């Protein structure tokens, strides 16, 4: 053995835990699990809550004692904090997991291809699940969201442009108002359309009224996302546009907006996801028909949230199965929108 190999330089990570420590922390978890089981078996405590609570209690206690013995009191406190943070994260994630599992399990039973080719004109929600479908709800939701998008996209982008390009006297107040608008309860948006348009003017429910209410909810989402995106566009691009002799509107229209294209698409997608499942204003305004209605300006218009709502309210076994199937479809739509928005923005950041 040479001297060299004895003093060979090895990279050291003094902060990394040694194998022994890792085994010890794994042991802490194992002991916590076992003692939880034992305690639940021995004591009258029972149920998921007991398992959950006891496990975290014992785990935190053991971890605390272990670190206290090894590194002293500050490290023990740190261990407690770590355990409590883990508990918080678990509590925050559990609902999502539970929701996804529930919707998948319960929605699966009501799914069949007929859902996408039939409406409920000839069926009641109490009919066997294989009859009828939610074609009318899908087309209705599509129509409602499309009209809402057509109205709110220009307004949202103009608002964002005002905040980023013009930055006029009102920029501060408008930013504040957009924020305030995003907090308007959806039912208030519905009541507003009712008060401003349905009662004084049209006197009838229709899909268009629902779209108008959705517009109010959609504008702030689009405006805020678009503003964030436009702020990321480097100022040099604008200066280059001006230096080439472009007027401001040509610079914005031909340089800034094209550069922000994918971000604006994200804004649109997030706006759609925000309103696609909105229920309260739809219940107030659309009238909720059972057949496919291609005309948003007259006649009741069905939609996914309304279909879910109606089926759920009836409360029989078949109707609730229908409601879960509707939720399944709605959730799939929202998730597709959400994931595509995320992919788009990741790609943008990648560039």
Partner 1 sequence: MPVQTEPARRELTTEPRFSDKVFRAIVTGGGLSSLLILGLIFAFLAYQGFSVLRSQGFHFVTGSTWQIVQDDAGNIDLSQSKFGIAAMLIGTILCALIAVVIAVPISVLSALFLTFYAPPFVKRMMVAVVDLMAAFPSILFGLWGFFILMPSVEYWAKLIHKYFGFVPIFKLEAPVVTRSPFVAGVVLAVMIIPIITSISREIFSQTPLDRVQAAYALGATRWSMIRAVALPYGRSGVVGGAMLGLGRAMGETVAVYTVLNIVYQINWQILLGAGGNVASMILLKFGEAGPQEIKALMAAGLVLFLLTLVVNSLADFVVKRSGGKGR
Please list every residue from 121 through 180 that binds partner 1, using CB under 8 A: 154-155, 157-159, 161-163, 165-166, 168, 170-171, 173-174, 176-180
Contact with partner 1 (CB under 8 A) among 34, 99, 146, 231: 99
Rounded to whole angstroms, how far apart are CA atoms 128 and 114?
Answer: 12
Identify residues 6-45 at the interface with partner 1 (CB under 8 A): none
Output 77 or 122, the one with its CB closest to partner 1: 77
Please work out, in degrees rounded to the nearest 5, the angle formed at the alpha carbon of residue 212 by the alpha carbons of 208 and 217. Answer: 140
Contacting residue, 218, 308, 325, 329, with partner 1 by CB under 8 A: 308
Residue from 185, 234, 258, 294 binding partner 1 (CB under 8 A) = 185
Kindly identify the residues of this chain, within the stretch 324-343, that bind partner 1 according to CB under 8 A: 324, 327, 330-331, 334-335, 337-338, 342
Q: Of 27 and 184, which has the nearer Cβ to partner 1?
A: 184
Beta carbon of residue 272, minimum distance to partner 1 (angstroms, whole number)? 10
Is residue 91 a contact point for partner 1 (CB under 8 A)?
Answer: yes
Check binding of 69 to partner 1 (CB under 8 A): no
Stretch that binds partner 1, among 17-25, 26-34, 81-89, 259-267 (CB under 8 A): 81-89
Q: Does 181 bind partner 1 (CB under 8 A)?
A: yes
Question: Which range binds partner 1 by CB under 8 A, 16-24, 94-102, 130-138, 294-302?
Answer: 94-102
Choose the binding region for partner 1 from 5-13, 35-43, 46-54, 260-268 (rule: CB under 8 A). Answer: 46-54
């Amino acid at each position: 053995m040479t001297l060299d190999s004895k003093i060979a330089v090895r990279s050291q990570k003094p902060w990394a835990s040694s194998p022994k420590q890792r085994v010890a922390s794994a042991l802490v978890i194992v002991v916590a699990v076992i003692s939880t089981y034992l305690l639940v078996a021995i004591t009258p405590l029972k149920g998921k809550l007991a398992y959950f609570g006891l496990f975290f209690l014992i785990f935190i206690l053991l971890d605390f004692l272990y670190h206290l013995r090894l590194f002293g009191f500050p490290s023990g406190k740190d261990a407690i904090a770590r355990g409590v943070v883990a508990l918080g994260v678990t509590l925050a994630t559990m609902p999502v997991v539970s929701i996804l599992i529930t919707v998948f399990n319960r929605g699966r039973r009501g799914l069949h291809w007929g859902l996408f080719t039939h409406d409920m004109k000839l069926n009641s929600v109490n009919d066997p699940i294989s009859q009828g479908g939610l074609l009318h709800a899908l087309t209705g939701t599509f129509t409602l969201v499309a009209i809402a998008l057509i109205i709110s996209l220009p307004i949202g982008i103009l608002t964002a442009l005002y905040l980023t390009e013009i930055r006029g006297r009102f920029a501060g107040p408008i930013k504040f108002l957009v924020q305030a608008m995003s907090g308007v309860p959806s039912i208030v948006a519905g009541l507003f359309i009712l008060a401003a348009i349905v009662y004084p003017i049209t006197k009838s429910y229709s899909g268009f009224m629902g779209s108008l209410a959705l517009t109010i909810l959609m504008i702030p989402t689009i405006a805020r996302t678009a503003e964030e995106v436009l702020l990321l566009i480097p100022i040099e691009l604008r200066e280059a546009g001006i230096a080439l002799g472009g007027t401001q509107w040509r610079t914005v229209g031909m340089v800034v907006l094209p550069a922000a294209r994918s971000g604006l698409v994200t804004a649109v997608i997030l706006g759609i996801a925000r309103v696609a499942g909105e229920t309260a204003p739809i219940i107030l305004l659309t009238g909720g028909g059972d057949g496919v209605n291609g005309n948003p300006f007259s006649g009741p218009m069905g939609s996914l949230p309304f279909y879910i709502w109606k089926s759920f309210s009836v409360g029989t076994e078949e109707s609730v199965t229908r409601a879960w199937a509707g939720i399944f479809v709605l959730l799939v739509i929202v998730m597709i929108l959400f994931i595509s928005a995320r992919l788009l923005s990741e790609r943008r950041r990648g560039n």
